[in-house]
């Protein structure tokens, strides 16, 4: 009788995630490592016996329901006429099914801001009635390649003697050039209302002074047809030591009015200014609103061809601002051309039909007032606090 061969059962330590049934495999081989098929393998787990027959590759398969826990499984072969018995132990670790992590809520995609509805001509006129007044095709102001440079000195010389001494010693530092306006070009038609906008230091007031004839440009050409009534900085054209009454004649003469004409219109100017007895008080004691009232009353006593306003409508009491707007409206009805500088974009939209946007002396945009103002407001998001001081974007 031949000697029986030794056998060996191979099992594995198994980790499984809990399911309704946990599968487990065992492999039976002889002493030479050859798989044994058709042999009965016994599985003992939790004191319960199970059995399964090996397949051609020597593997036996057990499928059993197990709750989450660690188990010891004993696998054994009882032996037969050819093979000796064998036994082995393994562990089965059944883990609970992990809780599903809640899916992160998807962040809502930012919705693009709806584009503002484009207003029709009728809707624009209804919202801004002052835009209804017609504009002629005649060009009344033609500005070509306008440049204004200023000399900036790093040191101040207080008197002629000191200047001569420094000049002899060659201690006067070279002056630097500053361009307040840099190759500005645009045209204004008769009856047009042009709004000039820009951050602080853009060159707006410098432009108005050149158009008014107060300053002469460094380069470029400016053609102006008709008489100009400028209202620039508060107090411009006034002698602060003179009374309001005396300044009516002084400022009026600067605007080209004769003394006889001013005497004829004196009561009308005085009444519109609402200054009363303050007309006999020196201008140096006036508030900014009082100066604005007097200047506006003198400039608009007749209908100029061109009215230039630099922030004048933003000072004074509410009643006088409304009164000034009505007066301005009456002038616009007569076809007066208006050039307005204002830090209030709403005032620009209300009065003007075209806009000129300046930035550091250069033209950034020029055209239909709403389009230019919208671009300006968008650019203001990146402007500094100093640039936006006193500017009203809404």
In whole angstroms, give the CA distance from residue 135 to residue 195: 15
Task: For the sheet with 354-359, list strands across it.
Answer: 228-231, 306-310, 337-341, 193-197, 354-359, 362-368
What domains appear along the chain, each with residue ranges and CATH number?
7-95 (2.60.40.10), 121-144+182-388 (3.40.50.300)
pTM of full prediction above 0.75:
no
pLDDT for res 221: 92
pLDDT in tens, 54-94: 888 888 878 777 777 888 888 888 988 888 999 988 887 77
Task: Produce one character per residue of 148-175: b if its CB has 16 or more CB atoms within 10 Å, e if not.
Answer: beeeeeeeeeeeeeeeeeeeeeeebeee
pLDDT for res 47: 85
pLDDT for res 25: 77
Report the SS3 class of residue 217: coil
Q: Phi and psi of 135, rounded to 5°?
A: -120, 135
Helical packing angle, 244-254 and 259-273, nearest 10°: 130
pLDDT in tens, 93-123: 777 777 777 777 777 777 777 766 777 777 8
pLDDT for res 356: 94
pLDDT for res 296: 81
In whole angstroms, give the CA distance from residue 1 to residue 366: 116
- The residues near 384 (Cβ < 8 Å, ≥ 6 apart) are none
List the structure tokens of 28.
Answer: 């039976």
The total number of residues written for the chain in this structure: 394
In whole angstroms, give the CA distance from residue 261 to residue 275: 20
pLDDT for res 316: 61
pLDDT for res 234: 54
Mean pLDDT confidence for 371-394: 85
pLDDT for res 15: 64
Residue 348, H or E segment? helix 345-351
The mean pLDDT value of the chain amounts to 83
Mean pLDDT confidence for 220-232: 85
List the structure tokens of 25.
Answer: 């495999």
Is the distance from CB of 188 to CB of 140 less than 8 angstroms?
yes
Mean pLDDT confidence for 280-289: 86
Of 116-120, 171-175, 187-191, 318-322, which one has max mean pLDDT?
187-191
Q: Shortest CA distance to 55 belongs to which of 32, 30, 37, 79?
A: 37
């Amino acid at each position: 009788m031949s000697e029986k061969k030794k056998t060996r059962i191979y099992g594995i330590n198994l980790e499984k995630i809990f399911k309704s049934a946990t599968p487990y495999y065992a492999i039976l081989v002889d002493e030479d490592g050859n798989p044994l098929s058709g042999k009965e393998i016994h599985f003992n787990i939790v004191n319960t016996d199970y059995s399964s027959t090996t397949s051609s590759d020597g593997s036996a398969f057990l499928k059993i329901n197990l709750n989450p826990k660690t188990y010891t499984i004993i696998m054994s072969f009882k032996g037969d006429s050819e093979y000796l018995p064998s036994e082995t132990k393994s562990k089965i670790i059944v883990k609970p099914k992990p809780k599903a992590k809640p899916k992160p809520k998807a962040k809502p995609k930012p919705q693009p801001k709806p584009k503002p509805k484009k207003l029709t001509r009728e809707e624009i006129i209804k919202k801004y009635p002052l835009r209804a007044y017609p504009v002629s095709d005649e060009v009344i102001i033609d500005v070509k390649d306008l440049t204004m440079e200023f000399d900036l000195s790093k040191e101040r010389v207080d008197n002629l003697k000191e200047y001569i001494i420094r000049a002899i010693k060659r201690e006067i530092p070279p002056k630097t050039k500053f361009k307040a306006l840099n190759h500005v070009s645009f045209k204004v038609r008769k009856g047009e209302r042009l709004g000039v906008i820009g951050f602080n230091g853009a060159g707006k007031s410098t432009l108005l002074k050149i158009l008014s004839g107060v300053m002469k440009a460094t380069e470029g050409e400016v053609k102006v047809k008709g008489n100009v009534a400028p209202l620039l900085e508060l107090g411009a054209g006034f002698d602060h030591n003179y009374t309001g009454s005396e300044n009516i004649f002084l400022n009026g003469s600067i605007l080209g009015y004769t003394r006889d004409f001013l005497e004829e219109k004196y009561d009308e100017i005085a009444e519109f200014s609402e200054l009363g007895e303050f007309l006999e008080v020196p201008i140096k004691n006036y508030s900014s609103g009082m100066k604005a009232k007097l200047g506006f009353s003198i400039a608009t006593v007749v209908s100029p061809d061109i009215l230039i306003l630099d922030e004048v409508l933003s000072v004074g009491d509410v009643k006088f601002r409304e009164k000034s707007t009505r007066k301005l409206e009456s002038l616009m009805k007569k076809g007066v051309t208006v050039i307005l500088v204002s830090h209030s974009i709403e005032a620009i939209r209300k009065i003007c039909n075209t806009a000129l946007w300046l930035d550091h002396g250069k033209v950034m945009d020029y055209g239909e007032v709403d389009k230019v103002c919208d671009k300006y407001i968008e650019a203001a998001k990146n402007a500094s606090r100093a640039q936006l001081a006193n500017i009203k974007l809404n």
